């Protein structure tokens, strides 16, 4: 009888020990699978730079730094289940401090170009940095891609909120502009980008993200074999400085006609210098709408772009020249990746017929863009 009681006690004790260990393991697992984790990544301008990892229930991971709000990595599986990075990026901060062409960054105060680096509001003319020939590009010499943002990761979702105060006169722009950008990785493998801003003086605002995509996950493959569809009947032709002429030109039957899917390399030779143009999106509402689809037969991946914005800049990576190498040491050659930047039109402050980009005191700037990666 005593032996039986002792055996029962040992069984109960062992069960309790297993339960405790199981609880401990579960706690460790919860920590390791937290939706947002972070690590110290360096210092810029005396400020702490971190790299945040957003993970969803499918194991898809997106890494974002508070330096420039840069999306450094998007690890997602191909048709064979192999995960690879579908955006251009670096493993270390030093790669970005060498000033690559805006890889993955938040762009502002004004995304894209402003002609002759000037604009006028009422009777006041504002002079900006001419950092692209005679033109102003992507916010100037030190745009939002080169500043350290305040970061607040979510405790419950794969979400990261970034905030920045762009002060009156910064890079020549008027007004103190308070900006919030929220990145969210959903369980549907979507990266949601929600932008908002408020100002104390009238100012142009045009925020976007400058991620470069290669759906094969390997920069040794160009994007010329990717297929692209853009829901746009018109685009904005440009002059030699890549500034829109003001015309809205029909795409039909020309190299800018992506109303049906076309391989990017199919007609790129007909576009001097390659694609670097704004498409006038066919919008039916002010809501989030599907505006473009990119697909790749090598990986089987598909990228869908949704936005509330009126325009989409398709850039085919024309100025990539192999001088930059990725973290694996592979040179990033021309057409190694492309950008699909949601936006208002380039040079809108100087083109009254274009949708206005002026934000006034008391108003709130809000736009939403979503990139979704899936398998075909």
* Statement: residue 31 has pLDDT above 60: no
Q: What pLDDT digit, counting tens, does each position of 124-150 carry?
A: 999 999 999 999 999 999 999 999 999
Is residue 40 among the annotated active site residues? Answer: no
Q: What pLDDT digit, counting tens, does each position of 158-195 carry?
A: 999 999 999 999 999 999 999 999 999 999 999 999 99
Hey, is 241 helix, strand or coil? coil
Q: What's the pTM?
A: 0.90
Average pLDDT over residues 290-308: 98
* Statement: residue 10 has pLDDT above 70: no
User: pLDDT band at residue 328, thresholds of 50, 70 and 90?
Assistant: confident
In 213-288, which ranges are E strands? 227-230, 234-236, 249-250, 262-263, 276-280
Q: Report the alpha-carbon distance of residue 40 to residue 282 in Å, rounded.
A: 43
Q: Residues 241, 243, 249, 253: is their CA dihedral positive or negative?
A: positive
Instruction: Please give the pLDDT value at position 109.
Output: 98
Instruction: Please give the pLDDT value at position 327.
Output: 86
* Statement: residue 95 has pLDDT above 60: yes
Which run of H or of E encompasses 41? Answer: strand 36-44
* Statement: residue 204 has pLDDT above 80: yes
CATH architecture of 37-375: Distorted Sandwich (2.70)
Q: How far is CA 22 from CA 8, 12, 18, 28, 35, in A?
A: 21, 15, 6, 10, 21
User: pLDDT band at residue 317, thresholds of 50, 70 and 90?
Assistant: very high
User: pLDDT band at residue 373, thresholds of 50, 70 and 90?
Assistant: very high
Exposed e or buried b for every residue in 87-123, given b needs 16+ CB within 10 A?
bbbbeebebbeeebbbbbbbbbbbbbbbbbbbbebee
Q: Report the alpha-carbon distance of residue 15 to residue 30 in Å, rounded.
A: 22
Instruction: Please give the pLDDT value at position 33.
Output: 58
Average pLDDT over residues 331-343: 98
Is residue 61 among the annotated active site residues? Answer: no
Are the CB atoms for 199 and 361 separated by under 8 Å? yes
Instruction: Please give the pLDDT value at position 306.
Output: 98
Q: What pLDDT digit, counting tens, does each position of 353-368 carry?
A: 999 999 999 999 999 9
Q: What pLDDT digit, counting tens, does each position of 224-278 carry?
A: 999 999 999 999 999 999 999 999 999 999 999 999 999 999 999 999 999 999 9
Residue with tokens 């980008």: 193
Average pLDDT over residues 317-336: 95
Instruction: Please give the pLDDT value at position 11.
Output: 37
Catalytic-role residue among 136, 198, 341, 344: 341
Instruction: Please give the pLDDT value at position 21.
Output: 39
Q: Report the share of the chain in percent with pLDDT over 70.
A: 91
Q: What pLDDT digit, counting tens, does each position of 53-67 carry?
A: 999 999 999 999 999
* Statement: residue 153 has pLDDT above 60: yes
Instruction: Please give the pLDDT value at position 34.
Output: 83
Residue with tokens 């990539």: 320
Instruction: Please give the pLDDT value at position 284.
Output: 87
Please name which of 236, 256, 257, 230 lies closest in space to residue 248, comparing C-alpha atoms: 236
Q: How far is CA 116 from CA 113, 323, 371, in A?
A: 9, 28, 32
All structural domains of the chain with their residue ranges:
2-32, 37-375
Residue with tokens 């990666």: 373
Specify the pairing of strand 124-127 against strand 136-137.
unpaired
* Statement: residue 20 has pLDDT above 60: no
Catalytic-role residue among 136, 138, 210, 231: 210
* Statement: residue 1 has pLDDT above 90: no
Average pLDDT over residues 34-44: 96
Q: Report the alpha-carbon distance of residue 165 to residue 207 in Å, rounded.
A: 14
Mean pLDDT taken over the chain: 92
């Amino acid at each position: 009888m005593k032996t039986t009681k002792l055996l029962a006690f040992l069984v109960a004790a062992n069960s309790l020990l297993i339960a405790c260990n199981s609880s401990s393991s579960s706690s460790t697992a919860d920590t390791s699978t937290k939706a947002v984790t972070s690590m110290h990544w360096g210092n810029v301008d005396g400020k702490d730079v971190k790299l945040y990892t957003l993970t969803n229930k499918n194991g898809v991971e997106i890494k974002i730094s508070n330096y420039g709000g840069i999306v450094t990595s998007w690890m997602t599986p191909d048709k064979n289940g192999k995960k690879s990075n579908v955006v251009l990026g670096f493993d270390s901060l030093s790669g970005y401090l060498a000033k690559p062409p805006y890889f993955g960054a938040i762009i502002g105060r004004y995304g894209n170009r402003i002609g002759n680096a000037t604009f006028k509001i009422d009777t006041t003319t504002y002079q900006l940095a001419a950092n692209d020939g005679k033109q102003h590009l992507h916010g100037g010499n030190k745009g939002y891609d080169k500043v350290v943002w305040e970061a607040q990761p979510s405790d419950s979702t794969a979400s990261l909120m970034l905030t920045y105060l762009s002060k009156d006169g910064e890079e020549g722009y008027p007004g103190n502009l308070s900006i919030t950008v929220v990145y969210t990785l959903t369980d549907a493998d979507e990266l949601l980008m929600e932008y908002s801003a408020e100002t104390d003086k009238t100012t142009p605002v045009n925020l976007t993200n400058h991620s470069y995509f290669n759906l094969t996950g390997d920069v040794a493959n160009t994007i010329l074999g990717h297929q692209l569809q853009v829901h746009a009947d018109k685009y904005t032709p440009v002059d030699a400085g890549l500034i829109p002429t003001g015309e809205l030109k029909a795409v039909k039957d020309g190299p800018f006609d992506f109303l049906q899917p076309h391989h990017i390399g199919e007609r790129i030779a007909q576009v001097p210098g390659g694609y670097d143009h704004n498409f006038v999106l066919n919008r039916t509402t002010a809501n989030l709408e599907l505006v473009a689809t990119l697909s790749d037969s090598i990986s089987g991946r598909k990228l869908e772009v949704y936005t509330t914005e009126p325009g989409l800049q398709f850039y085919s990576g024309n100025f990539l020249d192999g001088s930059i190498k990725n973290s694996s040491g592979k040179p990033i050659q021309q057409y190694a990746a492309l950008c699909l930047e949601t936006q208002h039109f380039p040079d809108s402050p100087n083109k009254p017929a274009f949708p206005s980009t002026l934000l006034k005191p008391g108003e709130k700037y809000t736009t939403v863009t979503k990139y979704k990666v899936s398998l075909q």
